[in-house]
Amino acid sequence: MLVLGLGRHGGGTGLVQFLAKRGAEVSISDPASRETLGRSLDMVQPWVKGPTHIGEPHHPDHLDRCDWVVVNPAIPPGTPILEQIASRDILPVTELGLALCWLPTRQLALVTGTHGKSTTCQLASQMLKESGLTAVAGGNLGGSLLSHLDDEDLEQLRLVVEVSSFQAQRLALRQDTAAVVMITNLTEDHLDWHGSRQAYHEAKLRLLDCTSGPDSLTILPDHGPFQQVTSNQARMVIRCCADGTEQHSRSVGDQLEIRTRDEKTLTIPYRPTAALEGPTGLANALQSATLAAALGATEDGIATAIRQYGGLPHRYQQVGEYQQVQFIDDSKATTPEAVASALGRSPSPVHWLCGGKPKSDPIDASALQSPLQQRQCHVYCFGAHASLWQDALSSLVTTPIEGHAKLEDAVSSAVSRAHPGETVLLSPGGTSFDHFDSAEDRGMHFQELIRQYFNTAAS
């Protein structure tokens, strides 16, 4: 069996171990260098008995003697090696696809969308745990779900699975794949991979076809392309909204009214942490609570998780405060729509750090016009594409905009200008690949720069 794309952050290590323990002779093909894959290679070394092809392009010869190929979801359609696999008597599969074939479906939820799906999965999982239930969040969020197939309490385990558009496009889905499917929202992303907005949306919407039966549930927002989506077969559709206009799950004042699969209503006091502040935080909490309730979470469990939720790394993460200036790491925001959500989190003046490789050419920054006009903001564009961001933003707003070659320079300028009561926000809008290996790498570098500032200022 060939693992096509091990991944640089340890993503494929659980897969390799699972396959090897079940008697497969595993080989690996990944064009990244040994230095880049060092940690992952060290972890799988005891389990790989077949050849390893590291630091070289995928080649048809790597398929020799293979019965199955596990394809990394990040490998784009049209890659020549995928055409070679299709021309041979070889079964292409994905890690998530394997897990969904064998995991029980009665307590399984699939979550996709453009924004908010990771937060929704983690928060819903925490709500279930606070309700005294055994729960796991996984899939695109990280960690191999295959490792749970040997759990003694597998039939009672609640599984909240994040599904990316890459993964969704390659999944072989049955109607009974999951008990619950949620789509958080749909905007525009990964067009370089999917080829068009329509293809991207179709990949996400495929998940709507994998629930069936009287106890299954589909959870959708009350906007976007979902207005005309109705129940099919015996499936119930619940729409989540934050303005109280829907008679489904909704927010009303400082409470959440959550509909369950048996059409009961739970009333949850809403006392959010900073990680759930603003309209985006409310939407995430509302969707998470609806999902968790569908899997058996209690009112107390949901409320406790909301009061305690600390957020995910690099997703509007509170880095710290110094002299009443807040520092926020939102490095995972790689689209203008994600940045717009971050800018709307609080009304305080913001020093916004933006940059990275844009996902569209030219940059469509129209989603940023309203949030930038509604608050006092100073913009610091950084990186190889700083001038592109400056041009795109200057055509929309009169906000002060600076350009800097490096993130370090932008941080230094922002720190020097920030006053008490203001916020320094890293929310780039583009991918990290101009100067960093990943969004996580970019976020950690930002946090280290802020720690250095704290230490220097305190000395």
Cβ–Cβ < 8 Å for 151, 157? yes
Q: At what angle do helices 278-294 and 336-343 cross, to 10 degrees?
A: 100
CB atoms within 10 A of CB 147: 16
Measured CA to CA, the distance from residue 22 to residue 39 in angstroms comes to 23
Residue 138's contacts (CB-CB under 8 Å, 6 or more residues apart) are 144, 145, 148, 159, 160, 161, 162
User: Would you state the pLDDT for residue 316?
Assistant: 93
SS3 234: coil
Span between the terminal Cα atoms of the chain, in Å? 57
CB atoms within 10 A of CB 381: 26
CB atoms within 10 A of CB 67: 11
Measured CA to CA, the distance from residue 100 to residue 115 in angstroms comes to 23
Output DSSP code: residue 377: E
Q: Letter for the amino acid at 442? A: R
* Cα distances (angstroms) measured from residue 386 to each of 108, 190, 267, 435: 43, 20, 47, 12
User: Would you state the pLDDT for residue 274?
Assistant: 86
Cβ–Cβ < 8 Å for 37, 12? no
Identify whether 400 is preceded by a cis peptide bond (ω within 30 of 0).
Answer: no
Residue 306's contacts (CB-CB under 8 Å, 6 or more residues apart) are 123, 127, 268, 270, 271, 272, 273, 276, 285, 289
Measured CA to CA, the distance from residue 182 to residue 180 in angstroms comes to 7
SS3 181: strand
User: Would you state the pLDDT for residue 261?
Assistant: 81
Measured CA to CA, the distance from residue 289 to residue 283 in angstroms comes to 10
| Local confidence pLDDT in tens for the 459 residues of the chain | 999 998 766 668 889 999 999 999 999 999 999 988 888 899 999 999 999 999 999 999 999 999 999 999 889 888 999 999 999 999 999 999 999 999 999 899 999 999 999 999 999 999 999 999 999 999 999 888 998 998 989 999 999 999 999 999 999 888 888 999 999 998 888 878 888 889 999 999 999 888 766 678 889 887 666 655 544 433 467 877 765 554 578 888 899 999 888 888 999 999 999 899 888 899 999 999 999 999 999 999 999 999 999 999 999 999 999 999 999 999 999 999 999 999 988 889 999 999 999 988 889 999 999 999 988 999 999 999 999 999 999 989 999 999 999 999 999 999 999 999 999 999 999 999 889 989 999 999 999 999 999 998 877
Structure tokens given for 346? 């609080």
Name 327's bridge partners: 320, 424
Measured CA to CA, the distance from residue 28 to residue 47 in angstroms comes to 11
CATH, range 2-93:
3.40.50.720
Sort strands 377-382 and 27-30 into parallel, antiparallel or unpaired. unpaired
Residue 137 φ/ψ region, left for φ over 0, alpha for ψ in the -120 to 50 degree band, beta for the rest? beta
Burial class (CB in 10 A: 0-12, 13-18, 19+), 122: buried
Cβ–Cβ < 8 Å for 31, 58? yes
Query: What is the residue whose two structure tokens read 């067009």?
Result: 191
User: Which of 2.70.70.10, 3.50.50.100, 3.40.50.2300, 3.40.1190.10 would CATH assign to domain 97-308?
Assistant: 3.40.1190.10
Residue 428's contacts (CB-CB under 8 Å, 6 or more residues apart) are 331, 333, 334, 339, 353, 354, 355, 356, 439, 442
User: Would you state the pLDDT for residue 53?
Assistant: 94
CATH 3.90.190.20 matches 317-458: yes
Query: What is the residue whose two structure tokens read 């890293």?
Result: 426
Domain ranges (residues) in the chain: 2-93, 97-308, 317-458
| 384-409 residues labelled b (16+ CB within 10 A) or e (exposed) | ebbebbbebbeeebebebbbbeebee
